[in-house]
Chain A
Amino acid sequence: MTSDHATPATTAGHGPGFWAGLYCASIAIIATLRITDAIPTPVGLTLFVGAMALLIPLVRAAERRSAAKGCMNAVIVRYNRRMLTASMGYVLGLGIAIALWNAYDLSGPVVFAIALLPTLPTFGMIWAMGRYLVEETDEYLRYRTMLAAIISLGMVLATGIFWGFLEMFELVPHIWAWWVLPVWSGGLGVAQLWMKVRGE
């Protein structure tokens, strides 16, 4: 046990809901503009990266709220910074990879290299999750995170297996394997919500 656990702080400024709403609205507007070809790909990519900056006040607002409830510590702050950095790297890497793929007739090792652009930041996310479990000194918070991860893993396995057979029998379209990460991340959120509802 360490002194990583901060004492409660007061909340100030906009709440996380405000920033989350602003972020989602921005993404929706940019996506609409891009889908309708109102803006070219480079402009859309630039705007997407710009919208990612809204995640910074969102994370800070969430941290302020958690600190006020006495559930914030230095390990969670480090985890949030790492995830934020990896998420921005992911959007940037994905954008550059798609732009290069669309602009040039690529093949071989170059394709391998551009596939790494969005992949490496997601490895960073997985590393950040692992480091959180290693660094978290609060056993209850660690227990909750591990439980959520296991529940989420169950969801990914169940969904993946069911989808795989539906796909094999040609009932649903093919989806790319990288979807496991967003599905697992979504599962983490569902698991945390489920534990909250159960009062755990």
Chain B
Amino acid sequence: MNNRLKVLRAERSWSQQDLADRLGVSRQSVNAIETGRYDPSLPLAFTIADLFGLPIEAIFTRD
């Protein structure tokens, strides 16, 4: 699965740690999701979508 997390984060000038703090996860998790090494669960994907104020499909896309 692909995602626009890095772009969305950069638009807000957030570091990975900033995003991790807002999501209540570790920086490792944000890094793993951003680089496509880990696909988040549906609850976490919803939390990410809520944080950016976007629908999930606007952030996560199929390969």
A113 to B32, CA, bound (A): 47
- Partner of A141 from B17, B28, B41, B44 at Cβ < 8 Å: B28
- Partner of B17 from A7, A73, A143 at Cβ < 8 Å: A7
- Asked if B56 is an interface residue, CB under 8 A from chain A, the answer is no
Query: Closest residue of chain B to A137, judged by CB?
Result: B24
Interface of B is mostly: helix
> How many chain A residues touch B (Cβ–Cβ < 8 Å)?
19
Given A1-B47, A5-B21, verify A139-B26 contact (CB < 8 Å).
no
Query: Closest residue of chain A to B47, judged by CB?
Result: A1
A138 to B24, CA, bound (A): 8
Q: How far is the CB of A135 from chain B (nearest CB, A)?
A: 14
- Asked if B49 is an interface residue, CB under 8 A from chain A, the answer is no
Interface string of A69-85 (1 = CB under 8 A from B): 11101000000000000
A170 to B23, CA, bound (A): 57
Q: Choose among B21, B23, B25, B47 the residue with the greatest number of A CB atoms under 10 Å from its CB.
A: B25
Are A70's CB and B26's CB within 8 A?
yes
Are B20's CB and A70's CB within 8 A?
yes
A200 to B24, CA, bound (A): 20
A4: which B residues are within 8 A, CB to CB? 24
Question: For the side of the interface on B, what is the size category?
Answer: 10 to 19
Given A7-B17, A200-B37, verify A139-B24 contact (CB < 8 Å).
no
A140: which B residues are within 8 A, CB to CB? 25-26, 28-29, 32-33, 38, 40
Are A143's CB and B26's CB within 8 A?
no
Are B32's CB and A5's CB within 8 A?
no
Apart from A5-B26, A137-B24, A140-B29: 6 A-B pairs, beta carbons within 8 A: A1-B23, A3-B24, A138-B25, A138-B29, A139-B41, A200-B32
What is B's interface to A at a CB cutoff of 8 Å?
16-17, 20-21, 23-29, 32-33, 37-38, 40-41, 44, 47
What is A's interface to B at a CB cutoff of 8 Å?
1-5, 7-8, 69-71, 73, 137-141, 143, 199-200
